[in-house]
C-alpha cells in the first residue's frame, strides 16, 4: 500500500517518506484533506513561471471545479474528533487563524483510519471515482505490473522522437512475463518518486528530469490530555483533518511558511518517532497514546531535492533543510506547542531525540512557558535529531515554458518525445504548501484534454 512498505527514507535518512503504492495511488491513503490550489501559487505559476494554464479564469479553474465535484468534496466536515476540537480550542483562545478543512467524503465518514485505505468506499479516492469511470468506458487496469521503459521511435536529428508504447514486467500464474503495450499516446503517472526514474530509464536526458523535488517537510508536536474519567473519546478516531490554521503560513507574503493541522497517528507510527530515553519513559509515552493529541507544521519548501538512478537503484536525495524551511518549521512547531498549551494539555513536547517536554500546572508562570519554548527554538531541528516526515512529493518533472528550465511543456508533454505525457504531481512548478491531491488531479484533468487534442 505504501512505497517501501511505509519505511522509505531519503538517501540522507533525514526525511521519512509516505507515498501511495496501491490502486488509487496517494488518494487511497490520503487523510481526506481536499484543498483548491492557493491563489498565490496560481499567480506564481502564471506570472513567474509564464504558464497561461494557471491564469485567472483559465481552463485550470474549471478543472478544479470538475475535480471537486467528482470527488464529492464537502466544505463542512460535520462532527469533529477530539484532536481537531482541541486545536480549535487552542487557536480560538490565542486568536489564531483556523477554518474547517474540506474533505472528499460524506460528513458521517469519520473512522480515523483513512491512511490504510477506505474499507467502505465513503472516501472518494480515485479508485472510487476516476478509475471507475475509466473502466466503465472500456479501460483495463492491470495490477502487479512494473513498467521497464517507455518505447519510442527515433526521429531524424533535431526532431522529437515519437512515443509508441511501453514494455513492462507482469506477474501471472506462471510467474513473470514481458508485456508490450502499443499506443498512440503514452501517459506516465507514477508519482514524483517514480516518474523521473522511468523517464531516465527510458533514455530521456533532459537535465530537469528528477530535479526540483519538493517534499512539504513536516514537524510534529504533541500534547497530553488526561481522560476526565467520563468520556472514552480517543485522539485517533473520528475525522482526521477537519481543521487547518494558516497562522504562520505567510500566504500574504509569498506562502513560504507552515500550515498547521492534526495528523492520523496509530501505535505503529507513534512508536517510530518517539525518542528513546529509557524503557520506562517509552512505556509511559505509548500508554498515553490514546489521549495524546498531535499538531503538525507543514512547510512549503523553499529548498529542493532530487530523484535519480544510482548504482543500487533509485536514489531520493533531500539535503538537510534549507535555512528558510528550517526557520519556518521552527516557527510552525512553536505555534503548534502554543495551541496545545492553550487547549489545556497537562504536558507538551517535541519528538527531538532529547525528548524535550514541559508539564503544565497551575504553578507554571508565563515566563516558565516562554523559557521552554525558547529552549525548543534554540535547539532547532538539528541534523537527524528531530523526525521530519513527508506525505507529499512534488516537482521532479516540473512543467515550464522552456526545456532549459523544465522537463515537460505546458501541456504536460515531454520536451524530447512527442506523444509522451506526464500527469502527476511531478509536473508541479513548485511546492504549493497544502495538501496537493486536488491540484494533482486538476492538472491531470487539463493534461488529459491536451492528450485528446493531440490525438485528434
What is the distance between the alpha carbons of residues 161 and 148, in angstroms, rounded to a whole number?
A: 18
Q: Could you report the per-residue pLDDT of 221-241, keeping only the tens digit for each?
A: 999 999 987 778 999 998 899
What is the grid cell recorded at 373?
519554548
Element (H or E) spanning 349, and its range? strand 347-350
Whether 111 shows a pLDDT value over 70: the answer reads yes
What is the distance between the alpha carbons of residues 328 and 435, in angstroms, rounded to a whole number?
A: 17
What is the distance between the alpha carbons of residues 221 and 248, in angstroms, rounded to a whole number?
A: 15
Q: Is 163 helix (H, G, I), strand (E, B) or coil?
A: strand
Residue 425's pLDDT band, with cuts at 50, 70 and 90, is: very high
Query: What pTM was computed for the model?
Result: 0.96
Whether 439 shows a pLDDT value over 90: the answer reads yes
Whether 9 shows a pLDDT value over 80: the answer reads yes
The conformation of residue 302, written as its DSSP 8-state character, comes to S
142-212+393-455: what fold?
FAD/NAD(P)-binding domain (3.50.50)
- Alpha helix stretches (DSSP H) within 106-239: 130-136, 195-201
What is the distance between the alpha carbons of residues 67 and 176, in angstroms, rounded to a whole number?
A: 37
Residue 362's pLDDT band, with cuts at 50, 70 and 90, is: confident
Whether 264 shows a pLDDT value over 80: the answer reads yes
Percent of the chain at pLDDT > 90 equals 86
Residue 316's pLDDT band, with cuts at 50, 70 and 90, is: very high
Question: Catalytic: 392?
Answer: yes
What is the distance between the alpha carbons of residues 130 and 176, in angstroms, rounded to a whole number?
A: 29
What's the confidence (pLDDT) of residue 119? 83
- CA-to-CA dists, residue 96 to 245, 259, 338, angstroms: 7, 12, 10
Whether 173 shows a pLDDT value over 80: the answer reads no
Residue 158's pLDDT band, with cuts at 50, 70 and 90, is: low
- CA-to-CA dists, residue 7 to 21, 27, 268, angstroms: 12, 19, 11
Class of domain 3-34+71-123+215-390: alpha beta
CB count within 10 Å of CB 302 equals 18
Residue with cell 508533454: 413
Percent of the chain at pLDDT > 70 equals 99
What's the confidence (pLDDT) of residue 159? 67
Across 154-302, the runs of DSSP E, i.e. the strands, are 161-172, 175-182, 186-188, 218-224, 243-248, 258-261, 292-299
97, 109, 392, 449: the catalytic one is: 392
Give the alpha-carbon dihedral of 110, 111, 117, 122, to 10 degrees.
-50
Domain residue spans in the chain?
Answer: 3-34+71-123+215-390, 142-212+393-455
Residue 252's pLDDT band, with cuts at 50, 70 and 90, is: confident
Residue 364's pLDDT band, with cuts at 50, 70 and 90, is: confident
Amino acid at each position: 500500500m505504501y512505497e517501501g512498505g511505509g519505511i522509505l527514507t531519503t538517501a540522507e535518512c533525514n526525511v521519512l517518506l509516505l507515498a501511495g503504492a496501491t490502486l488509487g495511488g496517494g488518494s487511497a491513503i490520503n487523510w481526506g484533506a481536499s484543498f483548491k490550489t492557493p491563489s498565490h501559487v496560481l499567480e506564481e505559476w502564471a506570472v513567474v513561471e509564464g504558464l497561461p494554464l494557471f491564469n485567472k479564469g483559465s481552463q485550470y479553474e474549471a478543472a478544479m471545479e470538475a475535480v471537486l465535484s467528482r470527488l464529492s468534496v464537502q466544505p463542512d466536515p460535520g462532527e469533529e474528533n477530539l484532536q481537531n476540537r482541541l486545536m480549535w480550542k487552542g487557536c480560538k483562545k490565542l486568536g489564531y487563524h483556523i477554518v474547517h478543512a474540506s474533505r472528499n467524503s460524506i460528513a458521517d465518514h469519520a473512522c480515523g483510519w483513512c491512511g490504510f485505505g477506505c474499507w467502505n468506499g465513503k472516501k472518494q479516492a480515485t479508485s472510487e471515482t476516476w478509475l471507475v469511470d475509466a473502466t466503465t468506458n472500456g479501460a483495463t487496469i492491470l495490477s502487479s505490473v512494473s513498467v521497464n521503459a517507455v518505447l519510442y521511435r527515433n526521429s531524424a536529428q533535431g526532431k522529437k522522437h515519437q512515443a509508441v508504447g511501453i514494455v513492462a514486467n507482469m506477474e501471472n500464474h506462471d510467474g513473470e512475463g514481458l508485456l508490450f503495450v502499443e499506443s498512440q499516446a503514452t501517459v506516465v503517472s507514477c508519482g514524483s518518486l517514480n516518474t523521473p526514474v522511468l523517464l531516465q530509464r527510458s533514455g530521456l536526458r533532459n537535465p530537469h528530469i528528477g530535479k526540483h523535488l519538493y517534499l512539504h517537510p513536516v514537524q510534529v508536536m504533541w500534547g497530553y490530555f488526561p481522560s476526565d474519567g467520563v468520556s472514552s473519546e480517543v485522539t485517533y478516531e473520528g475525522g482526521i483533518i477537519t481543521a487547518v490554521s494558516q497562522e504562520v503560513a505567510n500566504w500574504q507574503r509569498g506562502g513560504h511558511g507552515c500550515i498547521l493541522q492534526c495528523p492520523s497517528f496509530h501505535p505503529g507510527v507513534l512508536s517510530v518517532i518517539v525518542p528513546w530515553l529509557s524503557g520506562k519513559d517509552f512505556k509511559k509515552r505509548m500508554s498515553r497514546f490514546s489521549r495524546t493529541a498531535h499538531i503538525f507544521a507543514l512547510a512549503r519548501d523553499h529548498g529542493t531535492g532530487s530523484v535519480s538512478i544510482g548504482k543500487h537503484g533509485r536514489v531520493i536525495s533531500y539535503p538537510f533543510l534549507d535555512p528558510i524551511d528550517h526557520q519556518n518549521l521552527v516557527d510552525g512547531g512553536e505555534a503548534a506547542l502554543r495551541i496545545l498549551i492553550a487547549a489545556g494539555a497537562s504536558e507538551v513536547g517535541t519528538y527531538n531525540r532529547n525528548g524535550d517536554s514541559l508539564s503544565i500546572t497551575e504553578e507554571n508562570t508565563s515566563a516558565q512557558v516562554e523559557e521552554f519554548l525558547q529552549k525548543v527554538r534554540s535547539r532547532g531541528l538539528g541534523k537527524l535529531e528531530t523526525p521530519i516526515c513527508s506525505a507529499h512529493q512534488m516537482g521532479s518533472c516540473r512543467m515550464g515554458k522552456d526545456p532549459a528550465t523544465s522537463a515537460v511543456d505546458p501541456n504536460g508533454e515531454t520536451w524530447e518525445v512527442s506523444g509522451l505525457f506526464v500527469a502527476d504531481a511531478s509536473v508541479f512548478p513548485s511546492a504549493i504548501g497544502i495538501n496537493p491531491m486536488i491540484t494533482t488531479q486538476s492538472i491531470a484533468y487539463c493534461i488529459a484534454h491536451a492528450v485528446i487534442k493531440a490525438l485528434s
